[in-house]
Structure 1
Amino acid sequence: YILETSVYPREHECMKELREVTANHPWNLMTTSADEGQFLNLLLKLIGAKKTMEIGVYTDYSLLATALAIPDDGTILAMDINRENYELGLPSIEKAGVAHKIDFREGPALPVLDQLVEEEGNHGSFDFVFVDADKDNYLNYHERLMKLVKVGGFVGYDNTLWNGSVVLPADAPMRKYIR
């Protein structure tokens, strides 16, 4: 009911198209939901984010939400190991007129983060980072991101509260699947 009456009617046309394209992808359960996309958009506007980063973009739904939320001169450093998935969402990004905000880098994020950390000018320069990548590296990402995100900035981790799975017993079948 909430999705039909509140979320979908407010969804940007290009985001709706991308959500529908992603629904046909074999791993469509990995996508950011429409309500999460709108929450992300709202959060970015509330904090006045301008310089952002995404680690793991899948088919770009959250990336498009970010690009639509930040100002026209805002930037997103986007990283993913799979260019093919990124390119699936690229037509929607281009149609929305926000492709100029995105610097996409194909490959593992840790080497890119290490390079950013080496340059002191990058310390405290990011307003917001969204991490939706290999869960085993979340701690490694976090250690580096704490140097790169400004005081008062945000780092968001996807799936941290995924359907309450964080409170399941360690041997619960769903928890094993999620990991």
Structure 2
Amino acid sequence: MRIQVNLTEKLQNYVADVSLSEPPPLRELREETSLLAERNMQISPEQGQFLSVLLRAIGAKRTLEVGVFTGYSLLRTALTLPANGRVTACDISAKWAEVALGHCERAGVADKVDLRVGDARETLAALVQEEGAAGSFDFVFLDADKEGYETYYEYGLTLLRPGGLLVADNVLWSGLVIDESVQDDETRALRAFNTKLYEDDRVHLSMLPFADGLTLAVKR
């Protein structure tokens, strides 16, 4: 039996009331970001909490994040990881990286963060060459430019350990991936990315219609 639940605003509020837990440092960051013109680039607190649950479920200690913005997912990850955990993150914007790292410092978790500024392709290529990096990460989160997803995914798989989890955000792209009249570069890149993962026998795959669409891929 298939049951469709239509989440009204009232029901969404109820779900948040009985499920969502947002520590003060995260709430402060979210509220600060809400004042920015680019605020729609930030993940929701519900999505951040979901990522946190995934990290705990797989016992993650070493994680990778591609695309940081003001750092909500980065901070959530750093708060979730154990004391000996570490998140390596990359973003092309020095401005946003400074904001993100500032919030991590105020929350007392900056020692868990390795934030690298520059083109993510170059950052990841260099990371793969570091001794012991390949196959050592437990978790990868992709939330950057969509044209780069396929490249980031390949590097991510190389860096993931067998059984490690890769999560890609925005894979439904506000529904535009199924509107063939939309042919901009980002939408086309996401369509190609979604097809690539579906056909990739290197991973176990599940796409969730949660937030703007999340794909979970476990490395075989």
Higher helix share: 1
User: TM-score scaled by structure 1?
Assistant: 0.89
Of 12, 16, 25, 1:7 maps to 16
Does 2:175 align with 1:169?
no
Runs of 5+ unmatched residues, structure 1: none
Q: How far 1:91 sits from its partner (Å)? A: 3.5
Of 123, 136, 142, 2:153 maps to 142
Moved over 6 A (4+): none
Report the equivalent of 1:59: 70
Report the equivalent of 2:41: 30
- Preserved contact between residue 70 and residue 97 of structure 2 (Cα < 8 Å): yes
- C-alpha change, 1:4 and 1:95, in structure 2 (3 Å) is farther
Runs of 5+ unmatched residues, structure 2: 1-9, 188-220
User: TM-score scaled by structure 2?
Assistant: 0.73
Residue-by-residue CA offset, 1:59-110 (whole Å, 9 max, x unaligned): 0001011111111111111110112112223333222211110011110111
Which one-letter code corresponds to 1:61 in the other structure?
Y
Report the equivalent of 1:105: 116
Report the equivalent of 1:156: 167
Q: 1:35 aligns to what SS in structure 2? A: helix
Superposed, 1:61-140 pairs within 5 Å as 61-119=72-130, 121-140=132-151
Separation in 2, partners of 1:177, 1:31: 21
Residue-by-residue CA offset, 1:127-148 (whole Å, 9 max, x unaligned): 0011111111111111122111
- Percent identity reads 43
- Preserved contact between residue 54 and residue 131 of structure 1 (Cα < 8 Å): yes
Bigger drift between 153-162 and 116-125 goes to 116-125
Alignment length, in residue pairs?
176
Report the equivalent of 1:40: 51
Which one-letter code corresponds to 1:165 in the other structure?
L
Separation in 2, partners of 1:12, 1:85: 21
- C-alpha change, 1:105 and 1:2, in structure 2 (3 Å) is farther
- Preserved contact between residue 7 and residue 34 of structure 1 (Cα < 8 Å): no
Name the larger-Rg structure: 2
Q: Which has the higher contact order (CA 8 A, sep 6+)?
A: 1
Q: 1:11 aligns to what SS in structure 2? A: coil
